[in-house]
Amino acid sequence: MPRIYLDHASSMPVDNRVLEFAKPYLSSSHGNPSSLHSVGLEAKRAMEDARTKIADLIHAENESTIIFTGSATEANNLAVRGIGLRNIAQGKEVVVSAIEHMSVLNPMKELQKNGFSFTTVPVDSTGIVDLKKLETTLTKNTVLTSVMYANNEIGTIEPIRQISTIVHEKGMYLHVDAVAAAGRIPIDVQKDGIDLLTLSSNDLYGPQGAGALYVKPGVKLQSVLLGGGQERGLRSGTENVFAIAGMGEAARIAQQEMQQESSRLIPIRDKLIKEILKIDQSYLTGHPTQRLPHHASFRFSYIEGESILLNMDMYDIQVSTGSACSSKTLEPSHVLLAIGLKHEQAHGSMVLTLGRSTTMDDVQPVSKATYETVQRLRKLSPMSQEWRK
């Protein structure tokens, strides 16, 4: 059986069109963008072209709002720590949803060492942020609130415009991690009322090694990586021109093909959900309808997620899990705990994220492999044997 790759939220293959576009920046166009000679200026033009394409994808005011980083994790750190430290005189409170990525949660915890208070806002059982709790949590001292556009683990899309209204009525700045959403659903930072927004190259079918942070005009940040002053002094270090050029081209293709690709994937996603939920003691995680078009996530009683992943890989089907093995800790996913699952329930998750290679023909073999995997593991599970008694 040919490989079926369903872990696009973890890493996307570089689109061949992107690779062909960016390949010259590994060979002939190898200049440093800070150099003033012709080869350096060629690299500089490639970066500015990419900046424009990414600004267009998210409907930013102009290309100067885009700051390139080495990853989405770095962009999240720049947003959180940069806003907190730069605006410390205005307030020392930061607020975050309970299901944010660790690259947002940990920098906020780090700010506590500088005297900041750090508050998490709960979500409901589908992963939607509690807007009433958010409203009562924010104060005039809240310098930054961070809520992701959509969650990479359960696929739930947040009501960003409503969140933005609350944040700007009560606090100061809104940061949105859009890594999981960008290229899959339309994003308009101006209409959405977003002050800072994080993007990832590899999550747009671009090369690894590049990320970007949108910074709304007028928003002030403090640099967290000091050096030669590249990227408006906010992110020093020689830029990865190959990855940045590729990210720009990937953003252009995503914008052009997003609507058609999402419409193609939704029926495949829904068919997978329908077939897999036929398995006894299986449950959908995340919002049933307000979810990413390429995302299907489940939990299965009495078995472990890492065992599901490894067994599915024996069928040459690559999936993800929100349980211990994927997070490299002994704890279950904080996202699954936040939506109200018990520890033993949160351990049995499987996440399928579809991509450009996914077709309706994949539904039957994936559903069959999932059924066989769950049955096999339950036969070996002490929890399942106890339940059957």
Contact 108, 94 (CB under 8 A): yes
Q: Is 24 exposed, middle or buried (0-12, 13-18, 19+ CB in 10 A)?
A: middle
Contact 105, 242 (CB under 8 A): no
User: How are beta strands 317-318 and 295-300 bridged, if at all?
Assistant: unpaired
Phi first, then psi, for residue 104 (nearest 5°) are -105, -45
Contact 148, 99 (CB under 8 A): yes
Contact 110, 138 (CB under 8 A): no
325 is catalytic: yes
Gap between the Cα atoms of 186 and 173, Å rounded:
21
Helix (H) or strand (E) holding 97: strand 93-97
Amino acid identity, residue 108?
M
Gap between the Cα atoms of 324 and 97, Å rounded:
21
Q: Which of 185, 325, 337, 383 is catalytic?
A: 325
| Tokens 């308009």, residue located | 188
Gap between the Cα atoms of 37 and 184, Å rounded:
39
CA angle 204, 207, 210 (to 5 degrees): 85
Cα torsion 24, 28, 33, 38: sign: negative
Q: Which residues are catalytic?
A: 325
